[in-house]
Amino acid sequence: MIAVRGAIGLAATLLMVVPGAGAAMAQPVDRVATAVSCPATVAEVTPAQVASVFMLASRKLSAAARAEPGSYPFGALGGASDYQRTGPTGWTSGFFPGELWLMFERTKQARWLDQARAWTTPLLPMANYRGSHDLGFMVGIPTSLGLALEPGRATRAAYAGAQARAARTLARRWNGRVRAIKSADYGNRWGVIVDSAMNAPMLVEVGDRLQGSAGARLRSIGIAHMRTLARDFIRPDGSTYHRISYDPRTGRRLGPIPGQGYDPRTSTWARGQAWAIAGFAWAYERTGDPQFLDAATRTAQFWMDHVPAGCVPAWDLAIDNPRAPRDSSALAIVASGLLRLADAMDDRQPASQDLRAYARAALGTLASPAWTTASSANPGILRRQTLSVPADPREGTYVWGDYYLLDALTRAQLAGLPAGGA
């Protein structure tokens, strides 16, 4: 048996893995206070499951793409057969074209390239949009994938230019006293949210590409913002706050404010914890900064201490109610983040293999028929996601969970799934 420890040896053994087809995993020894849904047998994702999910995605995405590009899928409640949609200014607008780029990456089929281009193009002007701090989601995701996968030089140049403009636009929200990029005003309070961990690293990525003084400034802002998140948003036990307010004139931290979690001071919104894990993993990948490695592993450790391998948590990690809404999107984001972190680490470190094993177990559950829409008319892919439970507890499918599921499955396959899982 292979011991799977948490991240970087920060805790004792959490669970055990039996290698081979359908590697079964036992529950952690310690009792957890989070309501979770677990399969009867936890198993690592297999290549057959990956292929099945991408076949499902092909069907669902093809149907959704019949609409006019620019009307972006957002989500659909469990019993719905049609998407709610947004315009290009919606914070989720970049996820659907991101899914199309992932389909092209997998299949190399011209039809997916054509669709990815068509749905990315209306987002390029959003690089100058000052009404949202989520430009990393809206512009960064499709343009980053486009830069990696687009065969046309002129189109790649257009994507690079849009991403650079988006980074400069986002940098206009920088406050040097707070040392953070403003997310928004929340109840008339200058605020930052943990979700911003998924936007600030775009400034580092663009800064590295631009070089020179302009690039150095963007890079320094992105790094400083992530350091502020690491300092102020992570509690001593590795859990995270969702929203924190600051005095923009002095930079003084005023404290947590209500957000999407159960309690702004003491509980941990599941998707917020996932954003932190994935965001700090991305920041570490871009910079090699040990502070970001520490932040990624501490937040990952808290997650793994509360969510047994292969299980899907309630929408808040402090909720211990078996009837509470689940958020499968949070687990998909965590799987993507852990695989990114493992890729950024030295594979000779046992912890990198531990992170991969946890992520593959998560994907083994999420790729199963119980968690996908294979038997449903719902237009999305991943079932039982939540939007904002305090406002609406109903579950459904949403484009961010679908995107990160496909992203994580792609990362898992590129890293090489266990031979016994075929």
Residues serving a catalytic function are: 134, 195
Render the burial of 143-177: b for 16+ CB within 10 Å, e for the rest: bbbbbebbeeeebbebbbebbbbbbbbbbebbbee
Report the candidate in 53, 139, 154 with the shortest Cα–Cα distance to residue 103: 53
Which uninterrupted H or E stretch holds 275? Answer: helix 270-287
Helix-strand-coil split of the chain, %, nearest 5: 50, 15, 35
Rounded to 5°, the CA angle 208-161-135 comes to 80
Distance between terminal CA atoms of the chain? Answer: 20
Check residue 314 and report its DSSP letter.
B
Answer yes or no: are the C-beta atoms of 314 and 231 closer than 8 Å.
no
User: Residue 345 — φ and ψ, nearest 5°?
Assistant: -90, 165
DSSP string, 366-400: HTSGGGB-TTS--SSSB-SB-SBTTTB---EEEHH
| AA letter at 88 | P
Which of helix, strand or coil describes residue 321? Answer: coil
